[in-house]
Amino acid sequence: AQKVTQAQTEISVVEKEDVTLDCVYETRDTTYYLFWYKQPPSGELVFLIRRNSFDEQNEISGRYSWNFQKSTSSFNFTITASQVVDSAVYFCALSERDRGSTLGRLYFGRGTQLTVWP
Amino acid sequence: NAGVTQTPKFRILKIGQSMTLQCTQDMNHNYMYWYRQDPGMGLKLIYYSVGAGITDKGEVPNGYNVSRSTTEDFPLRLELAAPSQTSVYFCASSLRGEAEQYFGPGTRLTVT
């Protein structure tokens, strides 16, 4: 079973629209971490945010905001006033302890391809 | 500060050939990882290391080997390349196991 589900495979919006990327995760751990990464057309993976399971406060960074809800096991990502440069694949990832060790293995969702049209 | 570097950027291998993908980080991170990314599938963990001399298998280790003799370097060895190993390979490192991972630029490998 997928530990991280990104149900939206592709999203297209027009510049200046707001867009929300959904992420649903599954874990039995009480301590875990959630991440979002951006992969632009150039191919590199860029870290955007890390959230631990004890901090449910929403976070805003410029045009980006994240909504973490443990009750629904979701960690959604909203881009406000989207721009063409936001076009990329966005990955949500979960880190939980691997076999009781201190290592947090990253489990990635399959990604959402966001295309922002001018 | 270069972060995580990978070589080569591209490579074409014939079936049965072997090669080593190089990965180096200059952030003094103890944790290092190798992932492969197949189209539409996200990233899957191949091997990881929590420090020099310590490595362990990830989700898809078959057909690969790793070593970690120094903190900086974490090479990935492909033995007897197969078409199923055609993929983009990413190396990453992190300060702690639960910390954010920083990725290299990737190696695009084609096995024909």
Alpha-carbon distances, residue A104 vs A18, A107, B6, B41, B68 (angstroms): 32, 9, 23, 20, 19
Greater confidence (A10 vs A99) lies with: A10
Nearest residue of chain A to residue B40 (CA atoms):
A110
Confidence category of residue A106, pLDDT binned at 50, 70, 90: confident
- Mean of pLDDT values over A12-34: 94
Residue B58 C-alpha, separation from nearest chain A C-alpha, in angstroms? 9
Instruction: Please report the pLDDT score of residue A82 as a whole number.
Output: 97
Residues present in chain B in total: 112
**A 45-104: CB under 8 A from B:** 45, 47, 50, 52, 91, 95, 101-104
- Give the number of other Cβ atoms within 10 Å of residue A63's Cβ: 13
DSSP strands (E only) in B1-112: 4-7, 10-13, 19-25, 31-37, 43-51, 54-57, 64-66, 76-78, 87-94, 102-103, 107-111
Of B33, B43, B98, the CB nearest to A33: B98
Which residue blocks in A1-118 are alpha helix, DSSP H?
A: none
Q: Which residues pair with A11 in a beta bridge?
A: A114
Q: Which of B41, B7, B3, B33 is nearest to B109 (CA)?
A: B7
Instruction: Please report the pLDDT score of residue A57 as a whole number.
Output: 84
- Mean of pLDDT values over A41-65: 91
Instruction: Please report the pLDDT score of residue A96 as a whole number.
Output: 83
- Give the number of other Cβ atoms within 10 Å of residue A72's Cβ: 10
Cβ of A108 within 8 Å of Cβ of B58? The answer is no
pLDDT tens string A79-101: 999 999 999 999 999 998 765 56
Look at residue A102 and tell me whether its pLDDT is greater than 60: no
CA dist., res. B100 & res. A15, Å (int): 30
Alpha-carbon distances, residue A92 vs A35, A95, A115, B4, B13 (angstroms): 6, 10, 17, 21, 32
Euclidean distance between the first and final Cα of chain B, in Å?
36
Greater confidence (A105 vs B74) lies with: B74
Of A33, A45, A104, the CB nearest to B90: A45
Rounded percentage of chain A residues whose pLDDT exceeds 70: 93
Euclidean distance between the first and final Cα of chain A, in Å?
38
Which amino acid, one-letter code, is at A112? T
CA dist., res. B20 & res. A112, Å (int): 31
Average predicted confidence (pLDDT) for chain A = 91
Alpha-carbon distances, residue A64 vs A38, A43, A57 (angstroms): 12, 21, 14
Look at residue A29 and tell me whether its pLDDT is greater than 90: no
Instruction: Please report the pLDDT score of residue B98 as a whole number.
Output: 82
Chain B residues closer than 8 Å to A102 by CB: 50, 96-98
Of A35, A44, A108, the CB nearest to B100: A35
The ranges of chain B with pLDDT < 50 are none
Which amino acid, one-letter code, is at B64? Y
**What is the CA angle A50-A106-A27, rounded to 5?**
85
